[in-house]
Structures are given as structure tokens and as C-alpha cells.
Structure 1
Amino acid sequence: MLPLAGPRFIRCQTHRLQVIYKSLLGIRRMNFLMETLQVIVMSIYYNMEAVVRLFIPPKNKNVTGEIVLITGAGSGIGRLLAEKFAPLGVSLVLWDINQEGMEETSRLVQEKGATKVHYYLCDCSDKSEVYRVADKVKREVGDVSILINNAGIVTGRKFMDAPDSLIEKTFEVNTMAHFWTYKAFLPAMTANNHGHLVSIASSAGLIGVNGLADYCASKFAAIGFAESVALELLATGKDGVKTTIVCPFFINTGMFDGCNTKWPLLLPILDPDYVANKIIEAILTDQVYLLLPRTMYFIIGLKNIIPAKLGILLGMYLGAFNFMDAFKGRVKKVE
């Protein structure tokens, strides 16, 4: 039979536990200090890097041989992006619900130098159709390595005036379609630790706009989804799969016909060609966020630090309450 532990034995064990606890506490404090120092040093480095990049842009990456899929490629920004990619030696895969639009885009990109162009009729709001067409793309073209989720719709109606069916369609196209395309094409990217995910969102996904409740909500969700997946990729060591989130103000593509801006020098209605060029530049330089125009960086930053009442006052000053007053865009127009 083992002897019962005496007071001396208990004091000895207690002392040992105290020593171990103090050692662990010291290690934690050391880790805290080291990690804090690391954050400070890297913060200085990354800020300096950002300043340098203002004057010395990063070198464009080579996308020759990449398979680029663009949703909503039958018109607007989708068509322009396809045209910009045409001379870069990529294989283009065009998706849209408009067959004639895709055929026209295909013709235009071939005139611009594209030699490998494939187009598929696909309703991105239909999960089963996305998966079916995605499988067809994998068989006929290969694994997509640059995915550009561009398709989008806007109802342009006040929340209580928007039919339930249109609200649901807004989310199916602007948000849920991103889930299904990621599910279809991301596995191959992660397996190769190579690829690029591009979300064409909106500045309306960063700040609410009067008269765009469903559209804003769908774009907020799309941005949150893209950011979360980007963090998952980094957390799992898949840093070879890049992400870009694009948040432009209203673009003059017809989707937001009639929308106006109170101060065009501060918040201009954007030229589509300019936007397409900036998106291509962001993709080729692995830019994580692209806000257009540049004043949006200041506006969004200001939103997060000023009192709510002041934010409303500035919103009224900028005309945010009246952007949609003369809206006459087409409900099912694809960006």
C-alpha cells in the first residue's frame, strides 16, 4: 500500500506547479511581446510597401495559357473584360443568358487576337445549371484558373415595391451564383495552389444606398463571401490562389440608366472602358481590393469612424438619397 502524502510532499508538489505555471506565464508573455513586435515591424514594412507602390507599380504577372471564365460576358463590363484579355494569350470561356450577346462578344474578342474562345448558355442563378455547364467546361476546355464573377442584376425599386420574386432573383444572381461557381472551380485551383478569384461587386456592397435595399444586401453578401473564402485559402496555406474584390460606383453600361450623381467630380458615373482597364490591372498585379473612383477609399474609411448622424448628413450632401430618383435601367440587364 502506498503511503499517504504528507504536508511536506504536498508543499513540494505545490511549489513545482507554481514554478511550471510561472514558466508558462513567462513563455506566454514572451510570445505576446514577440508577436506584438512582429506586428509592429510588419505594419511599418507593409505601409512603406504601399507608399512605394504608389510611385512604382508592381510588375504584371504573365497569364499566357490561363483559362479565364467570365460570367455575364454577353455585354457591358463582362464583354469589355473579355476584349481586354483577348490579346494576352488566354483561353476565354464566356457565360451568359444571352446567346446573341455571347456570339457578338466571341466575334469581337477574336478580332482582338483571341484564338481560343468558348461560350456557353448558362443561367448563373440556377445551381444545377451552373454545375452542369461547369462540368462541360472542364471536359471541353480544362480547369478554369481565373474565375470572374461578373453577372449581376438590379431591380431599382424601393424595398416595399419590389416583388418577392425579383428580390430572390437578385440574391440568386448577385450572391448565390458565386457560391456555385466557387464550388465548381475552386477545387482544381486549391489542388494546384494556383488561380485567381475575382468578384465584381459594388460600392453599394460597402455602404447602403436609398432605393437599392435588395441590391446592396446582395453585394454586401458577395463581398463578405469573397473575403471569407480568401481568409480560408490563406489559413490553409493556399496562398497561390489570389483574390480580387472590385467595388465600383455606378458604371455607364445601361444597367443603371437614369441614375445621377450630385457631384460628378467627386463621384462620377464611371466610363466602362476605364473600369475594365482598372480591373485587368488589378488582376494582373494581384490587387486584393479595387474601389472606383479613388474617392471611395476615403468615403468608406470615413464611414467607419464618424458618428452615424454625421454620416447621414454627408450622405445627403453627396446626394446618396437621390441617386435612384430617375432610375430607368433594365431589371434583368447583365453587368
Structure 2
Amino acid sequence: MNFLLETLQVIVMSIYYNMEAFVRLFIPPKNKNVTGEIVLITGAGSGIGRLMAEKFAPLGVSLVLWDINQEGVKETSRLVKEKGVTKVHYYLCDCSDKAEVYRVADQVKREVGDVSILINNAGIVTGRKFMDAPDSLIEKTFEVNTMAHFWTYKAFLPAMAANNHGHLVSIASSAGLIGVNGLADYCASKFAAIGFAESVALELLATGKDGVKTTIVCPYFINTGMFDGCNTKWPLLLPILDPDYVANKIIEAILTDQVYLLLPKTMYLIIGLKNIMPVKLGILLGMYLGAFNFMDAFKGRVKKVE
């Protein structure tokens, strides 16, 4: 195909995709049927992980729950059974340990089957200034928030690719799109997780595996205890998010194959402005929004798996 034809194709398809996006503002896409899918959620013992498990419960899926906290994941299993799930399996798994991820993944494949919806939700935060954070906690942050995604993808993506069917979900953070004072290691780990998820998504498209969908979730602070004490200067613009609301939006995004989900919606504007405004103006806006002081009163649960 020559230059003129390729350029014409890009112009025509650009118009079409923009019109499609505009129509979807008023006519949302239909939810896909996930009955019979095997859904694995890491960090399912509490917080958003538990809420997502509960919201998947009535959808006819088989649930596989992972967490480092045995009592927490056991309780989640009990709760989803109360909501009607008959096929639920829970496993103790430290997602920061590659060998353990592979071992438990093999156990899941033997006992349950091939996972078709993988939700990488487990995460930790140190909540300390860069120079105050122990090396061990910085390493643990990357092991859980970033590297665990590599190992779970390695374990479960081959079957999805072979069937050209599945869904990869990365619960990242708005802190993976814009730096936050006091969250250097957390931001870096989430930036990496987003870059990894985007790159794998492109690999799948390049190899014709368009049946394997991807969703990247970037919420602002969620009121789960992980970021207790964090404040927001303008709650109407950047509210501390309700966990139930976030879980609902994530399930909705998965069911409609939404590629990116930013919460709250003002994050779309903030990220867009970050990419076009002068650096000094961006810093001024960050100060106005209170971004330099989000973590001043942090008292969240360090090393808490979300």
C-alpha cells in the first residue's frame, strides 16, 4: 500500500472512530456474557478485590481468589458463596514471589482450569518520602505492584492466546499517570505496570490475538484504608473514591471491553492538560489541586495488600 492510500485510510478511519466514540457517549455498548468464565482476582482478601469478587458472584463465573492473607481470602470466599456462587476457589499466594506465583498458578490450572479473566489487583504502598523508604520496602513495592503482573501473565496468557479469548485487567492508579509528592516508589511501580499492560496489549493486537481484551484501571485514592489520612484539597474535583463505586465501574469496564478507565472523570482532563501545558504551569496547577500535600497526613496500612 502506498503513502497516499495509507494516509487516506488513516483519515477515513479517524473520522469513523471519532464518530463511534461520540455515539457511545449516548448509546453505551452492550455488556458481554461472562457466564462460565474463570475469573482470577489477586488481592481478593479485602478492599476492591473483595468487592469485585462479590460483584462477579451473580454473573455465573467461577471465581479464583488469591491473597497473602488467608483469613481475608477465606472470608471473601464465604461472602461470595452467600451471593450464590457455587464455584469458588481460594489460595494463599504471595504475589511478590515468582516461584510461588507459578506454583499456585499450576495448581489452579490443575484444579479449576484455564483462567480466562485475570485481574491483577494486589498492591502495596509504603507512603514514605523516597529517602525515608527502606530499600526492602521499595523492592517489595515493585515486586507486588509490577513484577507480579509479569508472572501472572506468563502463567495464564498462553492459554488465552491459544484460544484467542480472555481478558487481562490491570488495577493500576492515577499515580501511574502523573507523579505524586511522597509516592516516588508507588508511582514508579504503577507507571511500570501501565507501560507493561499497554505493551502486552499491543503485542496481542500485532499477533492477531484481538480476542484477548485488556483493561487498565487508574483510580484516584480509594477509601479502603490503604491511603488512610490522605487528603484532597478540592473534593468536588478530586474526591476520595467510594470503594463500591470503583468496583462497580471496574466490572462495567470489563463487561464492555473498555480499554482505559480513569476515576474520577476529571482525571481525563488533568492527564490531558499535563501532556500539553508548560511544565511550570503544570506545577502551578498541581499546587492548586493540592498535589504537593496529598500525603502529608498519611497513616495508611503500609504493606497492606489491596
TM-score (normalised: structure 2)? 1.00
Q: Distance in 1 between matches of 2:264 and 2:85?
A: 30
Secondary structure of 2:2's aligned partner: helix
Shift of residue 233, structure 1, vs aligned partner: 0.1
Q: CA offsets, 1:89-148, max 9 Å, x none?
A: 000000000010011101110111111000000000000000000000000000000000
Shift of residue 39, structure 1, vs aligned partner: 0.6
Secondary structure of 1:223's aligned partner: helix
Q: Distance in 1 between matches of 2:225 and 2:21?
A: 35
Shift of residue 31, structure 1, vs aligned partner: 1.1
Q: Give the structure 2 partner of residue 237 of structure 1.
A: 208
Q: Distance in 2 between matches of 1:114 and 1:47?
A: 40
Shift of residue 334, structure 1, vs aligned partner: 1.5
1:168 maps onto 2:168 in alignment: no
Q: CA offsets, 1:36-91, max 9 Å, x none?
A: 11111111111111111111010000000000000000000000000000000000
Secondary structure of 1:55's aligned partner: coil
Q: Distance in 2 between matches of 1:85 and 1:31?
A: 48
State, as a whole percentage, how many aligned pairs show the same letter: 95
Shift of residue 276, structure 1, vs aligned partner: 0.2
TM-score (normalised: structure 1)? 0.91
TM superposition outliers: structure 1 runs of 4+ over 2 Å: none
Q: Give the structure 2 partner of residue 218 of structure 1.
A: 189
Shift of residue 251, structure 1, vs aligned partner: 0.2
Q: Which runs of 5+ in 1 are unaligned?
A: 1-29
1:70 maps onto 2:41 in alignment: yes
Q: How many residues align?
A: 306
Secondary structure of 2:168's aligned partner: strand
RMSD of equivalent CA atoms: 0.5
Shift of residue 333, structure 1, vs aligned partner: 1.1
Q: CA offsets, 1:139-162, max 9 Å, x none?
A: 000000000000000000000000
Q: Distance in 2 between matches of 1:44 and 1:327?
A: 46
Secondary structure of 2:303's aligned partner: coil
| Higher alpha-carbon Rg | 1
Q: Give the structure 1 partner of residue 27 of structure 2.
A: 56
Q: CA offsets, 1:153-192, max 9 Å, x none?
A: 0000000000000000000000000000000000000000
Q: Distance in 1 between matches of 2:80 and 2:18?
A: 39
Q: Distance in 2 between matches of 1:54 and 1:83?
A: 28
